[in-house]
Amino acid sequence: MTAPVAYLIGVLPPLPVIGFFVAIGAYMVEERDEYLRMLLVRQSLVATGLAMTAATFWGFLEGFDLLPHLVGYAWPIMWFAGLGVGICVNILIERRTA
């Protein structure tokens, strides 16, 4: 397999993930209901905070050879899991204020 073909094949799998991020951003911009937009923003902030914190901790510990190398595409997976945590945070906050 030639290098250009390998690069082409290598960039195809991330395209749906990129599409998901674009879709979430477009939904945030286009959502007219301020309450629903706030819920999505809070959920995304929780997901981003968890994924970036985990990536930072893992990166530093990996740099000191305390953890094995983790492939880069694990962090969007962590972000998607963080969306689930963000839903739970939204539920807990909304139940508390009700």
pLDDT digits (tens, 9 = 90+) for 50-87: 999 999 999 999 999 999 999 999 999 999 999 999 99
pTM of the model: 0.88
Residue pair 83/44 in contact by the 8 Å Cβ criterion: yes
Residue pair 46/93 in contact by the 8 Å Cβ criterion: no
Q: How far apart are CA 91 and CA 82, in angstroms?
A: 14
What would the mean pLDDT of 1-13 be, rounded to a whole number? 90
Q: How far apart are CA 19 and CA 22, in angstroms?
A: 5
Q: Which residues of 55-80 are buried (b: 16+ CB within 10 A; e: fewer)?
A: beebeeeeeeeeeeeeeeeebbebbe
